[in-house]
Amino acid sequence: MNEAKPKPSAKVSDQKPTREQKHLLSLEHIKKSFGDARVLKDISIKVDTGEVVAVIGPSGSGKSTLLRCATLLETFESGRLAYGDLTIAENDANGCAVYASKAVLKHAKTRFGLVFQNFNLFPHYTVLHNITAAPLRVQKREREEVVALAQSLLDKMGLAGKENMVPCELSGGQQQRVAIARALALNPQVLFFDEPTSALDPELTREVLNVIRDLAAEHMTMVIVTHEMSFARDVADRIVFMEGGVIVEEGTAASLIANPQQERTKAFLSHYGE
């Protein structure tokens, strides 16, 4: 079982941004197109330490693209992206986003984790190896510490004893929980979820959502793209409703769901009405 220690993350010493003003994550005026299609039209989101932000919206609203821009899987044409004091991309005089050096980007990757819709576990690695590989290879941490952390994360995910299984032997919900453990093992400051339960049936969805709920209770900073409205309402501090590449409405979870101000938000929520 888990020891009485608070939580296994928060190991790295430079966790806290030094100046109070810095947001943990800030996306400012992000613009992004695929060819002629403008997917993100001037999106700004700021996330503070301990906050849980849910991003909702219909398919094609740009919410996944936004997440992929924040996690450096896509580059945007214009705007600013920063993790605390670390500026990843900033506009030049012409309003074109210029990305920081490779070293800075690499460093930035230690600050966030991403959980994919399709898990994307490494199928040829065991569960334990999936979790320990990056901390060992990329962060060059001590094997003992990393394995101990991986074990405690697996405990927390309700997956103790599955260390030596390979992903194909696990259910989708279990795989997704391994993926969450894998992301947490790098001690990220913020964890992104890209529709983490969209590939799962309701039963397995519940397992995964419960894990995310636990993380929220521990004040893990998270940005969650989701279609699970009641989950978003329960877990998120703030909900951002996106449609057509813009933020239509943004507010505290309770108020946005119970009392949306915009017609489009109302229409969207009524489709998902429960």
Contact residues toward other proteins (CB under 8 A) are: 71-73, 106, 109-110, 112-114, 116, 118, 120-124, 133-134, 137-139, 166-168, 182, 186
Shortest gap between Cβ of 220 and other proteins (angstroms)? 17
The angle subtended at Cα 60 by Cα 237 and Cα 112, nearest 5°, is 45
Shortest gap between Cβ of 116 and other proteins (angstroms)? 6
For other proteins, give the closer residue by CB, 121 or 248: 121
For other proteins, give the closer residue by CB, 121 or 236: 121
For other proteins, give the closer residue by CB, 64 or 265: 64
Shortest gap between Cβ of 137 and other proteins (angstroms)? 6
Rg (Cα) of the chain, in Å, rounded?
19
**Residue 222: partners with Cβ closer than 8 Å, 6 or more residues away:** 51, 52, 53, 190, 191, 192, 193, 212, 215, 216
For other proteins, give the closer residue by CB, 188 or 245: 188
- 20 closest CA partner among 88, 83, 84, 80: 84
Task: Report the alpha-carbon distance of residue 169 to residue 166 in Å, rounded.
Answer: 6
For other proteins, give the closer residue by CB, 93 or 168: 168
For other proteins, give the closer residue by CB, 81 or 239: 81
Are 82 and 91 contacting, i.e. CB atoms less than 8 angstroms apart?
A: no
Shortest gap between Cβ of 118 and other proteins (angstroms)? 6
Are 68 and 75 contacting, i.e. CB atoms less than 8 angstroms apart?
A: no
Shortest gap between Cβ of 125 and other proteins (angstroms)? 9
Shortest gap between Cβ of 196 and other proteins (angstroms)? 14
Task: Report the alpha-carbon distance of residue 178 to residue 170 in Å, rounded.
Answer: 10
- What tokens were used for 219? 């004040």
